[in-house]
Structure 1
Amino acid sequence: MGSFTGKSVIVTGAGSGIGRATAMAFAAEGAQVVAGDRSEAVHATVELIRSAGGSAYGIQGDAGEEADVIALVDTACDRHGGLDIFHANAGISGGLTGLFDCTVDLWQDILRINLIGPFLAIKYGALKMVERGKGAIVCTASVAGLRSGAGGVPYSASKAGVINLVQTSAQQLSGSNVRVNAVCPGLIETGMTKFAYEHARAAGKTDRIGRLNPMRRGGEPEEIARTVLFLASDDASYINGQAIAVDGGLSSSHPVTRQEFGKTAA
């Protein structure tokens, strides 16, 4: 372990869920982490990292605001001498909003955080990585960005935008040795999905969580974090401009009437 020893890393949305898991995983492998979140919960993440012997510094700010992203990048560079890795993870769901239930205000808020946020991370993070001769940016997209059926309309559109942003940014950074990829989580237990998990537990239906994917379970934030760390590592040195689904196999199929494993069709 310790493959990120001395690396300067930024993680947004680090107050909970995937962001917290990723920030903790980077720190556990020796990285110097700047954790950002608009919630004060980011400071709890920092305390968890420090109590485990890791290095972390927390900043409250909005990942969709240009000044706040610049402050994150400047802080990482001032404290750690530069920037090596940026996990642009912050996002909001907006609920399972249908096309005709959406307001313009909701669309603008979701796009600002979920899509403009990663754009700002790439814009300001990549330039600092170029100064070091290499770097890795990992954006959190979603299986909802791959096809319909995994989220509300504005959320899904924003995540599809992230996937395309990753592809076009990788091309824009040709020759820079800065890689840009996305991870596409499926159903993961986070603040976004808390209501669904709590409802299933209260109704005694935890067996129904994740039932639509071949693994027949939901995922854990740590499973996404491990993929993020891989994409940010030198082990993924030839992976660029890709969107990697981590979803228990959910996105591997179009909707069908599935035959149960081990059972013959009626």
Structure 2
Amino acid sequence: MRFGNKVVVVTGAGSGIGRATARAFAAEGARVVAADISEAVHATVEGLEGAIAVEMDAGEERDVEALVALACGRFGGLDVFHANAGISGGAAGILDSTVELWAEVLRINLIGPALAIKHAGPRIVERGGGAILCTASVAGLRSGAGGPAYSASKAGVINLVQTAAQQLSTSNVRVNAICPGLIETGMTARAFEYAREVGKEDKLGRLNPLRRAGAPEEIARVALFLASDEASYVNGQAWVVDGGLSSSHPVTRQEFGKPAF
């Protein structure tokens, strides 16, 4: 029960990594506030003692501020905030992406975590310290694992946690990022469903040394470690959980003027 009597907020908790992480925190004793823009978040907390669900927009400052206030008001404080909410932005290339697409992806994927740090950080300090965890991606490490807007936003998340760790120096609040590889989540569901329909499920994740995709629970286990006292000397880092994909990032090169696939 690593999180007994701890208060934990998880955004993007309506499915995938967020749902698995919220449930894992609850299983280890945490009082969980699961948040998502989708009403599916209510299913996440079904059967979880002491957990509550909140519908909100993780890229909207008023919503993030209210979420932190709710957690502190309901449970008396805040110990861990997992800024997990994100969107893919689709498959548009850098020449085809609109300004509106870039703005929305950055709003959710990068400004969202920044708002989480801004509003959760001081409340975690009040508890004597704790952890902030932001979901980045292997796409933020180098090219080849996502679209341009998505990749840039996740690279920003990695730098954000490094900068935040420095600016929260002496506060006893650790800030880290987790970089998943290919995981079956709500964001990637369409690709997984299509692969199953055409009998090519075995091709998913074939570029990493483990030759398979990952499960949300595998990311959740690492997330709990980074948020726990077991990781008390881990700060400002980007932990990669991708089956080894980023050890080489093998990709099919896209030629200028030609489709990627």
User: Does TM-score exceed 0.5, indicating one fold?
Assistant: yes
Q: Which amino acid aligns with 2:13?
A: A
Give the TM-score, by structure 2 length: 0.95
Give yes or no for the alignment of 1:167 onto 2:166: no
Contact 1:28 1:54 in 2 (8 A): no
Contact 2:144 2:250 in 1 (8 A): no
Map of 2:101 onto structure 1: 106
Map of 1:58 onto structure 2: 53
Give yes or no for the alignment of 1:206 onto 2:205: no
Task: Provide structure 2 residue ranges, at least 5 long, that are not aligned to the other structure.
Answer: 253-261
Distance, in Å, in 1 between the alignment partners of 2:169 and 2:65 is 23
Deviation at 1:97, TM superposition (A): 1.9
Task: Provide structure 1 residue ranges, at least 5 long, that are not aligned to the other structure.
Answer: 258-266
Deviation at 1:256, TM superposition (A): 8.3
1:146 to 130, 137, 141: 141
Q: Deviations over 1:61-111 (max 9, x none)?
A: 100000000111001100111100000000000112210110000000000
**SS of 1:244 mapped into structure 2:** strand
Map of 1:262 onto structure 2: none
Give yes or no for the alignment of 1:25 onto 2:24: yes
1:220 to 199, 215, 224: 215
Distance, in Å, in 1 between the alignment partners of 2:187 and 2:160 is 23
**SS of 1:70 mapped into structure 2:** helix
Distance, in Å, in 2 between the alignment partners of 1:57 and 1:206 is 35
**SS of 1:218 mapped into structure 2:** coil
Contact 1:38 1:62 in 2 (8 A): yes
Q: Which amino acid aligns with 2:235?
A: N
Give yes or no for the alignment of 1:38 onto 2:33: no
Distance, in Å, in 1 between the alignment partners of 2:85 and 2:24 is 17
**SS of 2:45 mapped into structure 1:** helix
Contact 1:88 1:117 in 2 (8 A): yes
Distance, in Å, in 2 between the alignment partners of 1:54 and 1:94 is 35
Map of 2:4 onto structure 1: 5
Map of 2:227 onto structure 1: 232
Matched-pair identity in %: 73
Distance, in Å, in 1 between the alignment partners of 2:167 and 2:35 is 26
Deviation at 1:203, TM superposition (A): 1.0
Give the TM-score, by structure 1 length: 0.93
In 2 relative to 1, CA 254–217 (structure 1 residues): closer, same or farther, beyond 3 Å?
A: closer
Distance, in Å, in 2 between the alignment partners of 1:97 and 1:237 is 40
Give yes or no for the alignment of 1:247 onto 2:246: no
Distance, in Å, in 1 between the alignment partners of 2:250 and 2:217 is 27
